[in-house]
A and B are shown apart, each in its own frame.
Chain A
Amino acid sequence: MRVLVVEDEPRLAANIARGLRENAGYAVDVAGDGEQGLFLADEGSGYDLIVLDLMLPRLGGLEVLRRHRAQGRRTPVLVLSARDEKESVVELLNAGADDYVAKPFDLGEFLARAKALIRRGKGQSSPVLRAGDLEVNTVERRVRRGGRDITLAPMEYRVLEYLAHRPRAVISKTELLEHLYDYNWEKFSNVIEVYISGLRRKLDDPFPDKLIHTLRGQGYVLRPPENRAGAAK
């Protein structure tokens, strides 16, 4: 997952980024003002979540939100607000915010809300993502298959978590790269293949049913076996 933090206080931005990276394993980009924030938010395939402060130089948070939504973007937006008056909350939600936390916030609560927003943005409601007999617990960042715990490297987990948020959807290598790495990081397309093969070895090799499939020239898909998935439900 890749998160954009639009926050002009560098210390606060750094703390939020650290929390998101360490606790959730997300890639984080930071924008120091509203203009830069809007530019980054509108660019490319986008972020899985935008964390937006309201008091921003150059372009206010509310305006960033309005303009971003005017582009037809559906990225979940979590607003950081120092105000907690009712009207401004209403105004925020009406402008297209998905949730907000009032400063000074609890980092744990903030991270939980961030995860929930990402989840819901991808059509999932439970923090435990399931595909067939695979279980991805996004809170504890633990993976189980067939009742067995599976230990993954951090990057492998991030790839799997991204895939598991949208099972059966075809996800391109580019999308994976864009959503798993910070803005400034160099992107080597073959790293994804390395992680996918690692995942296959740990997840699929011990089991008869394969979950991770490669669609040549299109990308990857996490797909539980058709007949058993139906039976399992």
Chain B
Amino acid sequence: MRRSLTLRLVAIVVLSQLLLAAGLVWAGIIFTRGQLRRAFDSELRGRMMSVAALVRYPESSGAPLLFDASLLPPARSRRHPAFYQVRSRNGAIVASSFPGDVTLPAPSGEGQRLWHFTYNGVAYRGIVATDLPVLDTEEPPPMPQQRLTVYYAAPPFDMDEEVAAAGFAIGGTSLVLLGLAALFTGMAVRRELDPLRELARQAAGISPHNWDFSPGPRTAATTELIPLIQALNLMLERLHHSYQQQRDFMADAAHHLKTPVAILKSSLQSLLQRPRDAAEYESSAQASLLDVERLEQLLQRMLRLARIEQAADDDRPRRAPEVELEANCQAAIERVGPLARSRQVEVRSSGEFSRVSADGDDLELVWLNLLENAVQHSPPGATIELHGEVHGGEREIAIRDAGSGITAEDLPHVFDRFRRGQDSRVPGFGLGLAIARSIVRAYGGNIAIESAPGAGTTVRVRLPAAGA
């Protein structure tokens, strides 16, 4: 399922804004309602006081208190009248407009009290105050000072409407702002995601012919993208390196396969130039067979090198069994024996050996390649020494010959594959040292060569000790 980051971000913003708007509406309603209630209550109080102010003392002391209803403040609503009741201290009702079925609360000790009731389905809010003085200014009062209890009730009828109106106003404004915010957020997010799109464009442009990956300054300076760019760069570097290696190898291989193929082809074509006798055909067939065997050998070595180089490229450490170095070297010395004897060269081993972690066959191939090289470059009667040493966590094997040596010019390239010495009489493909180096590196070791023309050559291989 496709998931749009832009849509999700906008949704998050809209949702949080919606929550904010709801909170705002709610707070607005509470606040407005409180304000309105306070205003209503003070109005209620004022009306109650003005009802109280309509009470007069009578002319004579025995008469009841007078109430002038004509001066009553007008009702807030015609449909829902306000009610009042005035009682004297002794409980006698001076005046009342409350309908009979409304039960009035008993007045509290003193001060004012608010209460609620419902009449004809309309919510009323009432106020009752006791111990109010009669505000008749005529002198002297015909009777001792009277105290009044006054009830006044009115429906806070339009209060809810006003609260609702306030709620709608706040809510509506919030919604409009929310829409604008969503629009703006959407645009901003799209714009802010530009670097991501540029990155994608850059990445899409990468191919075996174009390894250039250089995001613009704005993209490269985007904090969130820096790890991604770094990771991509690292990955590209590795890929490029590996690709280049494979390509070089392919090119090298193709190049070096051409000569053996040219030999075979020209052999057969020159053989077929004219009729020949059986002996000639046979010797040519034998020679061609040898050519094919050599070609096969070359192929095997190239594949072996490719496999080892690939393994060496793997960052994962290779799990390998422990190998007894001395026996391993001895096996290689025995294998090089026939070649050494044919060239009247002696191979000796000395020193201290130990164990390393490596594949025995791989390692034996290292010594074999190095010893073959040494034998082929040694004059008859020479001695080659294979010397083992233990250096802390490392094991060193040095193979020293007293051969022709290598010029300073050639020395840096001896480990390159298909690199061959200047002496064309020495057979080989130029793969031995390259294979040896790849194997040593694959097991976490290193290989170094010291040589000077006429002074012989020493190759040192260092490998980590077993378990190190």
Alpha-carbon separation in the docked complex, A93 to B261 (Å): 25
Do residues A105 and B273 form an inter-chain contact, with CB atoms below 8 A?
A: no
Most buried by B among A32, A33, A55, A104: A104
On whether the beta carbons of A57 and B422 are closer than 8 Å, the reply is yes
Q: A102 CA to B262 CA in the complex, in Å?
A: 9
Q: Does A22 lie within 8 Å of B262, measured CB to CB?
A: no
Contact A57 B262 (CB under 8 A): no
Q: Enumerate chain A residues within 8 angstroms of B256, measured Cβ to Cβ.
A: 82
Contact in complex: A107, B255 (CB < 8 Å): no
Task: Identify whether the interface residues of B are mostly helix, strand, loop, or mixed.
Answer: helix
B139 at the interface (CB under 8 A from A): no
Query: Could you tell me if A82 and B258 are in contact, using CB atoms closer than 8 angstroms?
Result: yes
Query: With A103-B262, A105-B262 known to touch, is A15 a contact of B423 (CB < 8 Å)?
Result: no
Contacts of B226 in A (CB 8 A): none
Please state if A33 and B424 are interface contacts (CB–CB under 8 Å).
Answer: yes
Asked if A91 lies at the interface with its beta carbon under 8 angstroms from chain B, I say no
Cβ of B274 within 8 Å of any chain A Cβ, yes or no, is: yes
Interface: A16 (CB within 8 A) = yes
Q: Give which listed residue, A15, A57, A102, contacts B270 with CB less than 8 A.
A: A15
Is A233 part of the contact surface with B, judged by Cβ < 8 Å? no
A32 to B422, CA, bound (A): 11
- Contact residues of A between 143 and 167, Cβ < 8 Å to B: none
**A107/B263 in contact, CB under 8 A:** no
With A57-B420, A82-B255, A83-B255: A11-B269 Cβ-Cβ less than 8 Å: no
| A104-B424 contact given A16-B266, A18-B270, A19-B269, CB 8 Å threshold | no
Q: What 0/1 pattern do residues 296 to 308 of B give for CB contact below 8 A with A?
A: 0000000000000
Cβ–Cβ contact A19 & B273, under 8 A: yes
Report the minimal beta-carbon distance from A22 to chain B, rounded to whole angstroms.
Answer: 5
CA–CA, A80 and B259, complex, Å = 10
Q: Does B267 contact A (CB under 8 A)?
A: yes
Using CB atoms and an 8 Å cutoff, list the residues of chain A in contact with chain B.
8-9, 11-12, 15-16, 18-19, 22-23, 32-33, 55-58, 80, 82-83, 102-108, 110
Apart from A9-B259, A12-B262, A82-B256, 16 more pairs, CB < 8 Å = A8-B424, A9-B263, A11-B291, A15-B266, A22-B274, A32-B424, A33-B424, A57-B420, A57-B424, A82-B258, A103-B258, A104-B259, A104-B261, A104-B262, A104-B266, A106-B265
Cross-chain pairs A/B with CB under 8 angstroms, 29 sampled: A9-B259, A12-B262, A12-B263, A12-B266, A15-B266, A15-B269, A16-B266, A19-B266, A19-B270, A19-B273, A22-B274, A33-B422, A55-B259, A57-B420, A58-B424, A82-B255, A82-B256, A82-B262, A83-B255, A102-B258, A103-B258, A104-B261, A104-B264, A105-B265, A105-B266, A107-B265, A107-B269, A108-B269, A110-B266
